Chain A
């Protein structure tokens, strides 16, 4: 098991910046084998990838959110952080942090295995005035 825990304000005003932190227990966030990501789920809807951050600080964002998202990582605290700017009601969702594994498939086909193997419990963030 690898507990992950999201923390941050549950209520954000429109046009402001949503900020969440994920604290990882039971394992080092500095491992070169994994990325650390954020996924959100609007109420009653499906899953949507926000972005991933690597221990080195390299970041990868969903193109649809790239202009508003900033991910960062603090290996000394075993934490990584999401900032989403200029939020609207459409950003109301449960936000999950998770560990992301990416590796070439052992089959040798060149296919990429990519999956989230451990997830936080999620936190509902509501955008409202």
Chain B
């Protein structure tokens, strides 16, 4: 059972916009910023969004993040087949004194 809650799957067609939600508590998302990771099949996770809505160098602006209260969202616009991956949210948890992850959302590009 993951500390942060994500839907197990999401799907959309190429070119569409898709959002993935992440729910937590005051100990994590409510008090700290949210991070999103992208994990392509058979590879290590890759940092996608940090500090709620910041993109590392090289991440396209099709990817955006937002946070409100104890929930966060990742939005992907102009969906491409290469975006098919697992997406994980994470945040520092004050009660655990370390990072916690969501269970991951498998994005399927139809």
CB-based contact B102/A112 at 8 Å: no
Task: From B32, B43, B44, B101, give the contact of A112 (CB < 8 A).
Answer: B32
Pick out which of these stretches binds chain B: A16-24, A75-83, A116-124.
A116-124
Given contacts A105-B33, A105-B51, A111-B33, contact A51 B98 (CB under 8 A): yes
What are the residues of chain A within 8 A of B96 when measuring CB–CB?
Answer: 62-63
Does A34 reach chain B (CB closer than 8 Å)? no
Whether B99 contacts A122 by the Cβ 8 Å rule is no
Say whether A114 contacts B88, CB under 8 Å: no
Q: Residues 17-51 of chain A: 1 if any B CB is under 8 Å from the residue's CB, otherwise 0?
A: 00000000000000000000001000000111101
Report A-chain residues with C-beta under 8 Å of the C-beta of B90: 47, 114-115
A7–B13 Cα distance when bound, in Å, is 40
Interface residues on chain A, size class: 20 to 34
With A49-B98, A62-B98: A111-B32 Cβ-Cβ less than 8 Å: yes
* Tally of contacts, chain A with chain B, CB under 8 A: 75
Assess whether A52 is interfacial by the CB under 8 Å rule: yes
Given contacts A111-B32, A112-B92, A114-B92, contact A119 B45 (CB under 8 A): yes
Q: How far is the CA of A1 from the CA of B32 in the complex (A)?
A: 26
B92 to A48, Cβ gap below 8 A? Answer: no
Q: Which residue in chain A gives the minimum CB-CB distance to B51?
A: A113
Task: Tell me if B24 counts as interface (CB < 8 A to partner A).
Answer: no
B: residues with CB less than 8 A from A are 2, 31-33, 35, 37, 43-47, 50-51, 56, 88, 90-92, 96-104
Write the residues of chain A forming the contact surface with B, with a CB cutoff of 8 angstroms. 39, 46-49, 51-52, 60-63, 96, 100, 102, 105-106, 110-122
**What are 21 residue pairs bridging A and B, where the CB atoms are less than 8 Å apart in the complex?**
A39-B45, A46-B103, A47-B45, A48-B101, A49-B98, A49-B99, A49-B101, A51-B98, A60-B97, A112-B31, A113-B32, A113-B50, A114-B90, A115-B51, A116-B45, A116-B99, A117-B50, A118-B47, A119-B46, A121-B43, A121-B44
